[in-house]
Amino acid sequence: MTPPKPLVLILCTGNSCRSHLAEGILRSIAGDILEVASAGSKPAGYVHPLGIKAMAEIGIDISAHTSKHMNDFLDRDVETVITVCGNADQACPMYPGQLNRHHWPFDDPAHATGSEEDIMNVFRRVRDEIQAVFTAYADGRRDEAKVRARE
């Protein structure tokens, strides 16, 4: 029997934007080796429409994502917690089975101002920054799995 994939939980305060961008990206590039979820300390109750649009531009559909509370995962074995905003890092509990914790803060595109195009460009920039960081993380996890397979 194949062991369950390790759960990576991505946290942000509102669980409406950055954590969903990261969840969608990490699931698309490492969903074969990791279970990926996101949640928030104070869930907004929706996924930001411009986040959905920015992800669609790179071929990732997060339109079915929902905003969840981080306490929904307290009964799960969460191997790794990644916080993508400062408030979530401070509010984050320890989860059963948690081995790793990373804090990689990103600007909140939901607070962008200016024209519609200016705001969309902030969403694209943050999406691209998240994609670069989480791609490197996924590559590291794959390398780690290869080393373990050889042992």
What is the full per-residue pLDDT of the chain (151 aa) written as tens digits? 667 899 999 999 889 999 999 999 999 999 999 999 999 989 999 999 999 999 999 999 999 999 999 999 999 999 999 999 876 566 666 777 778 999 999 999 999 999 999 999 999 999 999 999 999 999 999 998 888 888 8
b or e along 69-103 (b: 16 or more beta carbons within 10 Å of the residue's beta carbon)? ebeebeeeebbbbbbbbebbbeebeebeebeebee
Active-site residue (options: 7, 26, 92, 138): 92
Q: Is 17 in the active site?
A: no
Give me Rg for the CA atoms of the chain. 15
Q: Which of 84, 85, 130, 133 is catalytic?
A: 85
Rounded to the nearest 10°, the torsion over CA 30, 142, 40, 52 is -30
Q: Which of 89, 76, 74 is nearest to 13 (CA)?
A: 89
- Of the candidates 8, 10, 11, 12, the residue annotated as catalytic is 12
Backbone torsions φ then ψ of 101, nearest 5 degrees? -145, 130
* Residue 92 pLDDT: 65
The answer to whether 34 touches 8, Cβ cutoff 8 Å, is yes
- Interatomic CA distance for residues 66 and 39, integer angstroms: 9
CA distances from 79 to 30, 41, 58, 125 (A): 15, 18, 28, 29
The CATH number of 7-150, from 3.40.50.300, 3.40.50.2300, 3.40.190.10, 3.20.20.450, is: 3.40.50.2300
- Looking at residue 145, what is its pLDDT? 82
pTM: 0.92
Can you give the pLDDT at residue 88?
59
